[in-house]
Chains A and B, each alone.
Chain A
Amino acid sequence: MNDSSGPHIPRTPPRKSATFDEYSIAEIQRAAATGIYDIRGGGTKRKLPHFDDLLFLGASVSRYPLEGYRERCGTDVVLGTRFASKPIRLKIPVTIAGMSFGALSGQAKEALGRGATLAGTSTTTGDGGMTPEERGHSHTLIYQYLPSRYGMNLTDLRKADAIEVVIGQGAKPGGGGMLLGQKISPRVAQMRNLPEGIDQRSACRHPDWTGPDDLEIKILELRELTNWEKPIYIKVGASRPYYDTALAVKAGADVVVLDGMQGGTAATQEVFIEHVGLPILAAIRPAVKALQDLGLHRKVQLIVSGGIRSGADVAKALALGADAVAIGTAALIAIGDNAPEWESEYQKLGTTAGSYDDWHEGRDPAGITTQDPVLAARLDPVKAGRRLANYLSVLTLEAQAIARACGKSHLHNLEPEDLVALTIEAAAMAQIPLAGTDWYPGKTGI
């Protein structure tokens, strides 16, 4: 009705549509103006059921806690005990996820290596190969084996401490990648054997195998190439975690890496990031169940990733059955990504500190997601590595604090029975009882 026709008729305020909200309208307008989908970096930004929806119960009359600062709570983890003669031994169960030189500056990769090494954990290469700086500064380096095989060579393969066969990632299960020309610097182009400055496409399927039966043979080849020494990880984006885990095990994995949709990417379509895959909370229990059904839980190790921010997240992931977690976005934040000190420059890019996600454009004021030598020089790898080590230390201390409160002498002793869920959704996804009940949706045999 026309509510402005009389002086005494109350006006209703302008009402925005919940469906066509501000963001949706802006995206329609942007799409109409450009004819192309939006590309960005990072992981999903939508609100999802997550570790925040779980709580630890802590000790009580029925269970007693460990003394906070005196009684030991172990944090070490051994990865790759199934077939590899030289498993990975880490001091903490928090690893650094695969991120490429190309997506990241050389300084950022060095910082990740330094920080991980200080903390006693591993870091991981990405699409584009292994740089000498990265190998040199990473005590334990996992070498990713990707569909593109950019920079893949036997010498580096044998220098690695483990090999991670990448089938997918949480931000884009089923998707390949594209590194825009701004980031194909002479060095990146040379490493990837591509013309300088072109938009580089990365395939989504491996070139020489298809399916789990072929993968088993590919893993045999990788083991023969490296003398059966190195653990073979298989990384999958969370989509069908029960079957993917079971098939990875069948193919011969020593370690399964499971990446939820909160996990970041250097660049892909916004629609892909936000609409494909599972939140990590929903993926862990099915993966653990697959390992348990095969009698291989804790024998084939499970690393989970996607939205790990705090020691509480680490503890919850481990309590749900993971052996370790991996961090990517949080590691970048720790070394300086989205830092407030660059706010004025973020604003020039049309964004703000905390929201910057145009990692593919190579104009990162913090010098992390760029190949611009001037910007990259802003990042001091030594100081940034120290910040990462500090952060990893805090994650570990926080997880230990929770574990002790639950009476656990090792982080791996955390268990689902230590948890309750705050929402019915989280209860269903994590198969953890709703707080105050002994029930979760789908639970049978009550």
Chain B
Amino acid sequence: MGGTARYLLGRLGFYLLAAWVALSLNFLIPRMMPGDPATVMFARFQGQLSPEAMDALRETFGLSDASWWSQYWTYLRHALVGDFGTSVAYFPEPVTGVLLRGLFWTVVLAGSAVVVAFAAGTLLGTLAAWRRGGWLDSVLPPVLALLGAFPYFWLAMLALFVLGFGMGLFPLRHAYSDQLTPGLSPEFLASVFRHTLLPALTLVAVSLGGWMLAMRNTMIGVLGSDFIEYAHARGLAPRRVMLAYAARNAILPNVTGFGMALGFVLGGALLTEIIFSYPVQGYLLIQSVRAQDYPLMQGLFLTISLAVLAANWFVDCATVALDPRTRR
């Protein structure tokens, strides 16, 4: 048991290190660019910003005549208490406030899409490997590979155009109907579901193939092992051999990939959110790019990084529960 705790603490240490790298990159990137970041930034905002906003920007970046070390120290201290400065696009609201409004919806959308794609893809991969050469195994992989080749956001555009705009099957924008007040009422939840369905489905459609193929290929390897023969020889029900013996052992690489996929889908979700005017991170991202709102951009990068790192740590905990070998 002590080994497990040490392992998980070690992973936690790694994620803290990764978080520190993310924070430091955030600090270094503007300073590594050609020219003085302050000049670059202020030149772009010529005449668009009030002097107060300029001061806020300067303060956000800790851009002063102080040495890099003391700037870095101030920056880290601010980041630690969640102070990412003031947004330019939403001046004078602090970045943290703007971000928190959106984070919840992004997690709802990307989270549900990843979980559904993972579950469905893993199950399909299991079945495809089990009935090797069957129609599931020969038809689905090429179809899903074709779907996976489309850019996330483009497939979302097409789906919205055909199913939403053309056929009127789905709402065209936002996360819930404008006429409803957010709450736990059944109407509101149903509206959220209806609005989330299409964006989530497009995310699932493009990521399903990866899960399925990975599961299929690992499972084919596992199915060739002696213990599977033995399980058959013992006369266990085929379904039990498939799920409790083969799939149970083949699923580990997929679980390990889960955390990384979350980061990937979160990126795709940002673009999908833009297409569906889903109210949040994705919208903020495009806002921040168009308005060149660096504090907001950096805040987005950091919150998403931290969310992904935290999710990865939970995945590690799940792996420990599933794979006895990591528990030694």
Q: Do A and B come from one complex?
A: no
Residues of A within 8 A of B (CB): none
